[in-house]
Amino acid sequence: METILFVTSTEADGTLNRHALEALGTAVDTAVSLPGSPLVVGLFGEKIEAAANSIANCGAVRFLGVEGAEFTQARYATDAAALEMLCRASKATLVIAPATSRMARVIAGVSHRLNGRIDTHVNAIATSNDQVAITRWFYRQRMFSELTRTQRPWLLSVDSGCHTAYQGESQNVDIELLPIVLGSDHLRTKVAGFKAPSADQQTIRPDADLLFVTGAGWTKKQKDGQTHPKEAEQLILGFLRETKASLGGSKSLVDMSGEGEQVLQFMSHLNQVGQTGATPRHPKGLSTCCHGEEPHVVGWRFIRERRAVNLDPNCGWARGKADVLYVADAFEVVAKVNALLAEKHSTVNA
Amino acid sequence: MPDPLQTLEPVTGVGLPALKNEMMLPAVLDPWAGHALYEAANLAKKVPGSKVYLVSLGQKAKLQQVMMTIAQKVSFELVAIDGPASGFTDAHEVAPALAAAIMAIPGIDKSRLLLFGGWESASRGAGATMQILGEILGITDQFEGVDEITVQDDGSFQVLERVEGGKHQVSTCAGTPAVLGWATGNLGEPRNDPQVGMANMRTVMPALQRAKPAKVAAEGVLYGRVELPKQQRNTRIVKDMPADQIAREIIEWISQK
Ligand SMILES: Cc1cc2nc3c(=O)[nH]c(=O)nc-3n(C[C@H](O)[C@H](O)[C@H](O)COP(=O)(O)OP(=O)(O)OC[C@H]3O[C@@H](n4cnc5c(N)ncnc54)[C@H](O)[C@@H]3O)c2cc1C
């Protein structure tokens, strides 16, 4: 028997994001599969009422909250204080949170305060005979294992895309608001806001159906012996415009862009996919001008369908890493794709 | 950690799972930790009176191998701890070992500490060690996924942290101490400088000799079988198809729901 706390921060508008609802879905399933294990909800943020009401029917026996202007900002000291208090008040043995950047910043630190244990980037929680086991990856998506722990509380942060999001009727709930006293030590850090690329340079789209990955080949000398950075840039941006895909890059390409070369100014390290980059989740991925080396491809672990365009029939993709490898010139193929899509869109709009 | 260019294969180890031929695999400095080191060195150069310590837990022989590749990059003083650098050990055991080593540095002033490290390791990718370490040392200004720090004249500093959707959160912290878990940052890998290497090696070898063994494992954790994903796909290799036809195939594929 466990006491399960689902805990998360609320969004600026007082709601819960999809990732949080997915983690709640996991928490609800876990509670249901462990008879006699109550589910408690803990929320913190500037305002939490709307969020609590929206999940009123998730089966929780208590709704705990920490609320106030200081919790608007994602700041370690205040978020950790709120999370710690929610965990303590719930007497949870199992704490389930979404692995959002905000929760990920504090959850391990709080596990230490509680003399508990943390596992992050959890992909699945399974139960059998009152035992809880989690699955996570090791060595950057190279291998995975199930594991259990004897220590409690056990805090778990759950990756996005691993569970369907909770859905339920809204209703007013009674929230037990926990009083929290903050000192100046909690407020040494101030969040000024966010820095985002301008709208037309916003190339990372986590909800896109397609990940479009570009490799260093886009900047290499082509069959005419020349490089074509301007054309590459136009083709890539054109593809993103037509398909609404999210843009990924190989390390070689983003490193070049970072060094201020005359190529692909819209690429940054945030686009990098792989060992030292992101491991995004999209249903499909199309790789172009990228060799498909292992440290790159580990970033594709959660891309279901994979196709690649490369001039080299012996590139990494050919060796069982892609479903389809088109041995072709990506400049030509992407130009054609863009032209065909533009034509299609203009007939639809006409 | 083992060089990511190597094939990594899990095996049942003594107690914890391990990697096949783990001791034979060439070791590299964990990539995000490497960025943290370069950023630390860069900052130390700009702020007079600063000093960079590199506190590293790993098998002694592996640490020595790693030092051969990074000692020429930037100036630091090594504090070595002899123990496993495995993805299967627990951050709750690694962090106390690092904390003890940090506290044992002669003359260390905790109030002036900027604790830099990788935000996630390439072995476990948990993003837990830095936070727990900060908590043990009583540091509650912490930043994760850091790509930039800018120190102001009054000792305060601005930090850019990665958040969802390709954005950065911009924060200002009143001053040290703080924990910064680094992502890639903005610096390229420094070029090798033999003079820096020579200066570093004077402290590296004694530090390796002094390295205390740390008992680091994962008490209370029971691992199931560690498995490799079934990653081999049946790749259809399409040659000699005109670009036009490939484009149509790709469009059809991306339009399917
Ligand atoms: C510690 C470590 C961490 C790393 N982390 C990462 C990581 O996170 N992400 C990552 O990506 N890499 C990572 N790498 C680097 C990785 O090993 C490769 O070096 C890198 O992915 C190569 O990038 P690329 O395929 O774009 O470039 P290249 O290897 O230069 O390949 C370019 C490709 O473009 C093709 N090409 C050229 N012109 C055309 C054209 N007109 N049409 C079609 N194809 C064309 C070529 O055939 C070639 O295959 C890491 C390496 C190490 C050691």
Calculate the alpha carbon distances from A78 to A63, A190, A272 in Å: 20, 11, 31
Topology alike, domains A4-187 and A210-349: yes
pLDDT classification of A225: cutoffs 50, 70, 90: very high
Whether the pLDDT of residue B102 is over 60: the answer is: yes
Q: Please give the structure tokens belonging to residue A35.
A: 């008879």
pLDDT classification of B62: cutoffs 50, 70, 90: very high
> Could you write out the three-class secondary structure of chain B?
CECCCCCCCEECCCCCCEECCHHHCCECCCHHHHHHHHHHHHHHHHCCCCCCEEEEEECHHHHHHHHHHHCCCCCCEEEEEECCCCCCCCHHHHHHHHHHHHHCCCCCCHHHCEEEEECCCCCCCCCCHHHHHHHHCCCCCEEEEEEEEEECCCCCEEEEEEEHHHEEEEEEECCCCEEEEECCCCCCCCCCCHHHHHHHHHHHHHHHHHCEECCCCCCCEEEEEEECCCCCCCCEEECCCCHHHHHHHHHHHHHCC
* In chain B, where the domains are located: 10-213
The answer to whether the CB atoms of A189 and B171 lie below 8 A apart is yes
Q: For residues B67 and B208, what is the distance between their CA atoms, to the nearest angstrom?
A: 10
pLDDT value of residue B14: 80
The minimal CB distance from B124 to the residues A138, A149, A192 is found for A138
Q: What is the largest CA-CA distance in chain B?
A: 69
pLDDT value of residue A298: 92
CATH, domain A4-187, list 3.40.630.10, 3.40.640.10, 3.40.50.720, 3.40.50.620: 3.40.50.620
For A8, counting Cβ atoms within 10 Å of its Cβ (0-12 exposed, 13-18 middle, 19+ buried), the class is buried
pLDDT value of residue A347: 80
Interval between CA A60 and ligand 1 midpoint (Å) = 48
Tokens 């037990």 appear where? A176
pLDDT value of residue A198: 77
- Judged by a CB distance cut-off of 8 A, whether residue B231 touches chain A is yes
> Could you write out the three-class secondary structure of chain A?
CCCEEEEEECCCCCCCCHHHHHHHHHHHHHHHHCCCCCEEEEEEECCCHHHHHHCCCCCCCEEEEEECHHHCCCCHHHHHHHHHHHHHHHCCCEEEEECCHHHHHHHHHHHHHCCCEEEEEECEEEEECCEEEEEEEECCCCEEEEEEECCCCEEEEECCCCCCCCCCCCCCCCCEECCCCCCHHHHCEEEEEEECCCHHHCCCCCCCCEEEEECHHHHCCCCCCCCCHHHHHHHHHHHHHHHCCEEEECHHHHHHHHCCCCCCCCCCHHHEECCCCECCCEEEEEEECCCCCHHHHHHHCCEEEEEEEECCCCCHHHCCCCCEEEECCHHHHHHHHHHHHHHHHHHHHC
Whether the pLDDT of residue A262 is over 60: the answer is: no
pTM: 0.93
Whether the pLDDT of residue A304 is over 90: the answer is: yes
Interval between CA B86 and ligand 1 midpoint (Å) = 27
The answer to whether the CB atoms of A194 and B163 lie below 8 A apart is yes
Chain mean pLDDT for chain A = 95
- Judged by a CB distance cut-off of 8 A, whether residue A152 touches chain B is no
What's the average model confidence in pLDDT over B32-59? 96
The response to whether residue A231 sits with its C-beta less than 6 Å from ligand 1 reads no
The answer to whether the CB atoms of B171 and A190 lie below 8 A apart is yes
* In chain A, where the domains are located: 4-187, 210-349
CATH, domain A210-349, list 3.40.50.1220, 3.40.50.800, 3.30.1360.200, 3.40.50.450: 3.40.50.1220
Set of chain B residues whose Cβ sits within 8 Å of the Cβ of A345: none
pLDDT value of residue B230: 80
Interval between CA A215 and ligand 1 midpoint (Å) = 6
Whether the pLDDT of residue A209 is over 80: the answer is: yes
Min Cα distance A172 → chain B (Å) is 30
Cβ-contact B54, B77 below 8 angstroms: yes
Residues A6-34: tens digit of each pLDDT: 999 999 999 999 999 999 999 999 999 99
- By alpha-carbon position, which residue is closest to atom 30 of ligand 1? A216
The answer to whether the CB atoms of A337 and B251 lie below 8 A apart is yes
Whether the pLDDT of residue A215 is over 60: the answer is: yes
Chain mean pLDDT for chain B = 95
The minimal CB distance from B170 to the residues A192, A276, A339 is found for A192
Query: Among A35-49, A244-258, A299-313, which is the least confidently predicted range?
Result: A244-258
In A, minimum Cα distance to B139 occurs at A77
Residues B169-223: tens digit of each pLDDT: 999 999 999 999 999 998 988 999 999 999 999 999 999 999 999 999 999 999 9
Interval between CA B128 and ligand 1 midpoint (Å) = 30
Neighbours of A266 (CB within 10 A): 18
Atom of ligand 1 nearest to the CA of A312: 47
Set of chain A residues whose Cβ sits within 8 Å of the Cβ of B7: 294
For A46, counting Cβ atoms within 10 Å of its Cβ (0-12 exposed, 13-18 middle, 19+ buried), the class is middle
- By alpha-carbon position, which residue is closest to atom 27 of ligand 1? A216
Interval between CA B27 and ligand 1 midpoint (Å) = 21
Cβ-contact B80, B210 below 8 angstroms: yes
pLDDT value of residue A265: 80
State the best of B226, B248, B252, B255 to mutate against chain A, taking most chain A CBs within 10 Å.
Answer: B226
In A, minimum Cα distance to B35 occurs at A276
Q: Please give the structure tokens belonging to residue A342.
A: 């533009």
Q: For residues B69 and A84, what is the distance between their CA atoms, to the nearest angstrom?
A: 41
The minimal CB distance from B132 to the residues A109, A188, A269 is found for A109
State the best of A142, A145, A222, A284 to mutate against chain B, taking most chain B CBs within 10 Å.
Answer: A142
Superfamily of domain B10-213 in the CATH hierarchy: HUPs (3.40.50.620)
Residues A70-120: tens digit of each pLDDT: 999 999 999 999 999 999 999 999 999 999 999 999 999 999 999 999 999
Residue A278's identity, in one-letter code, is: A
ipTM of the complex: 0.96
Q: What is the largest CA-CA distance in chain A?
A: 71
In B, minimum Cα distance to A325 occurs at B237
To the nearest 10°, report the CA torsion of B133, B135, B138, B139: 80
pLDDT value of residue A259: 64
Set of chain B residues whose Cβ sits within 8 Å of the Cβ of A298: 4
For A209, counting Cβ atoms within 10 Å of its Cβ (0-12 exposed, 13-18 middle, 19+ buried), the class is middle
Question: In percent, how much of chain A has pLDDT > 70?
Answer: 97
pLDDT value of residue A93: 98
The minimal CB distance from A307 to the residues B31, B91, B250 is found for B250
Handedness of CA B89, B91, B92, B94 (dihedral sign): positive
pLDDT value of residue B219: 97
pLDDT value of residue B165: 87
- What number of C-beta contacts closer than 8 Å exist between A and B? 268
The response to whether residue A306 sits with its C-beta less than 6 Å from ligand 1 reads no
- By alpha-carbon position, which residue is closest to atom 43 of ligand 1? A310
The response to whether residue A86 sits with its C-beta less than 6 Å from ligand 1 reads no
pLDDT value of residue A258: 65
For A83, counting Cβ atoms within 10 Å of its Cβ (0-12 exposed, 13-18 middle, 19+ buried), the class is buried
B169-189: b or e for each residue (b if 16 or more CB lie within 10 Å)?
bbbebbbbbbbbbbbbbeeee
pLDDT value of residue A340: 97
Residues B69-81: tens digit of each pLDDT: 999 999 999 999 9
